[in-house]
Structure 1
Amino acid sequence: MANGSHFLGGTITWQLQNKSATGTPVAVLITQTYSWTYTSAICTSTMIATNQLIPISVGSLTCSPICPVGFGTVSATPHCTDISVINGITVGQHLDTVHIPTGSNFSIAFAGGAWGSLTSGGSSWSITSHVNLVLRTNNGKYNSAPVSTMMSPINIILNESTIITVPLSDADGDVLRCRWATSSNGVDECASVCPPSSLPSNTTIYSNCTIVITGSTVGNKFAVGLMVEDFINSTSSVPLSSVPVQFIVKVIAPLSCIYQPKLILPTESCTPIKVNETFTSTLLAINNCGAIVTITDISTLSFSGMVQTSVIKFNSSVFYKNLTWTPTINQVGYQPKFSLHNTVLHSMSHKMVRIHVLGLHTLQKQRQQQQQQHP
């Protein structure tokens, strides 16, 4: 096994606080999301509710070729957002707003040297995102980078060709394509785990962001490193931005039941929530395998402040956990999609929803529009 320790992957994305901003500098929101082994980064529900940092120090982002004026120091140590003690996973997210000149075009990276134990590849990682503040040619506004809510690790069944679809969204509705991360062109996107040499033979990535992979030995773990790029139209070959997605794939033995559990989150695909008002919901998991399977955990990838209960058994078929979240003024706008997976015996079943946090100015504008429509 390659040297390894505690890192399980992650992503870095960015967006303008105001896409129609004029003048310079402009405010850019950088969102970092990383996963760690639970024993090396122990978080609790209380730490999640109070937005505390994960109890490890991992340094700061670096820039290539140089950081623009106003970028300052951006810590890579995230706030606790999700835990799965059973699966040994801690997830954290860090949000920073930097004020940098319009027209800035550079890369930001989070690098370290302690991947979770891998079958191939080394222990070092580099997750790199390309930031481009040149105005778009189609609408004269700033671009927003794609967002991925890929969870880690992902289990695949021994000797089965498995299709992994990377969950993605783009606020601009751009054409999205995926490619393997590389360490060429002076930008290191993957350090010691650059595909395809770090993956099982014949592993393939397609531009529509699906990966086909087969594992031949139970217990093997591989780090997957890819880049998501957005394009202004289907004929363009020049990406507007590049966002990293890195995660671990683990090979497991065949399951006792082939039927995937069903996840139900009774929330609209885009749910508006007011700042400082508490949002509550229930996450349901339907067991389709009968008494031979018990759902003991539902892993999630959410955002700062989302508090969850442990899994509760309603009956042999229905399991659930309750969710509570009170957004702050700093979370106004569309939040990255809330992603979740049934785990323990099944790992590929997932569902995502998107939440829109409404600030006071947004609510006032909506009321004015409603009054105009219904005098």
Structure 2
Amino acid sequence: MQQVNILFLTIVLLTISTRASHYRGGSFSWTIQNVSNNSITNQTNIPARITQRHSWRRSLGKNHFCDKNAIASSGLIGEGELIGSIFTQNTIPTKVQCTDFNEQFDYSSREISTLVTVPMRNIIEYAYQGCCWIALLPPETGSAMNLIVELQIGNVHLIRITRADSDGDHLRCRWGRSEKNECGSICSPKGLLKADPCELTYNAT
């Protein structure tokens, strides 16, 4: 697909060093909008659609609470923003209409797609900037979030990380980079991460 060869868009998550409380994580994806080959040749910019999804602790307060009434009335939840490296669309708000919630696991979520115009033949980065990630700690430490993966001590484990892309683009994995402020206080984690396929080898000895 020709569009893939002329535009590189990198989307990362930024962790902020702060007291964790209510941000439960999120994901981003992007697609190039349909344009003709002739218009690509004659243009310096191209339309792209950024899709983002975030979740927060539902019980925190009204800015993060979602229920059926909030969905029906298009209630806004969330905080923070997407920070971009291009002047034409350098910020995208993340406080938007809630789309779903879960009472048992105490989270509210929302998803939105935004059309942006980006320059061709450039490397472009978008990153979520906000605060208050819930700590990935065992329950006995007081965290409201359990471990994502439980491992048996004394064994070497292979953890396969699921990847998906809406239009079939090839995806690879990497650790967050401290020089780009992508991993806060948890840079240089233990384990061997394979980029493709996305697999984490962890020695729990």
Instruction: For 1:107, give the aligned amino acid.
Output: E
Aligned-pair RMSD on alpha carbons? 3.2
Task: Give, in whole Å, the separation in 2 of the partners of 1:157 and 1:195.
Answer: 20
Q: Which residue of 2 aligns with 1:170?
A: 165
1:52 aligns with 2:68: no
What is the match of residue 200 of structure 2?
Answer: 211
Within 2, Cα distance between the matches of 1:190 and 1:177?
18
1:1-375 aligned within 5 A: 3-18=19-34, 20=36, 22=40, 23-40=43-60, 41-49=64-72, 51-54=74-77, 56=78, 58-64=79-85, 67-68=86-87, 70-71=88-89, 73-119=91-137, 155-157=148-150, 159=152, 163-171=158-166, 173-184=168-179, 187-196=180-189, 201=190, 203-207=191-195, 208-212=197-201
Instruction: Specify the code of the residue in structure 2 equivalent to 1:4.
Output: A
Which amino acid in 1 is paired with 2:162?
Answer: P
Matched residues in 2 for 1:188 and 1:174: separation? 26
**What is the CA-CA distance between 1:75 and the residue it aligns to?**
0.5
Ranges in structure 1 where 5+ consecutive residues have no aligned partner:
121-151, 217-375
Measured at CA, do residues 170 and 155 of structure 1 come closer, stay the same or move farther in structure 2, by a change above 3 Å?
Answer: closer
- Larger relative CO (CA 8 A, sep 6+): 1 or 2? 2
Q: Offset at 1:72?
A: 5.3
Counterpart amino acid of residue 193 in structure 2 = I
Using a 3 Å threshold, how does the CA distance of structure 1 residues 103 and 158 change in structure 2: closer, same or farther?
closer
Q: Larger helix proportion, structure 1 or 2?
A: 2
Q: Quickly say closer, same or farther: Cα 1:24–1:51, change in 2 above 3 A.
A: farther
**Structure 1 residues 164, 39: CA separation in 2 closer, same or farther (over 3 Å shift)?**
farther
SS in 2 for 1:168: coil
Change (3 A) 1:4 1:168: same
Q: Tell me the amino acid that sits aligned with residue 152 of structure 2.
A: N
State the identity %: 29
* 2:137/2:147 contact within 8 Å kept: no
Max Rg structure: 1
CA contact (8 A) 1:157 1:215 kept: no
Q: 4+ residue runs of structure 1 moved beyond 6 angstroms? A: none
Residue 205 of structure 1 aligns with an amino acid whose one-letter code is L
SS at match of 1:191: coil
**What is the number of equivalent residue pairs in this alignment?**
172
Q: Distance in 2 between matches of 1:35 and 1:104?
A: 30
Q: Which moved more, 1:205-214 or 1:4-13?
A: 205-214
Return closer, same or farther for 1:48/1:4 CA change in 2, 3 Å cut-off: same
Note the residue ranges of structure 2 that are not aligned, 5 or more in a row. 1-17, 139-144
Question: In the superposition, relative to structure 1, how do residues 12 and 87 fare at CA in structure 2: closer, same or farther (>3 Å)?
Answer: same
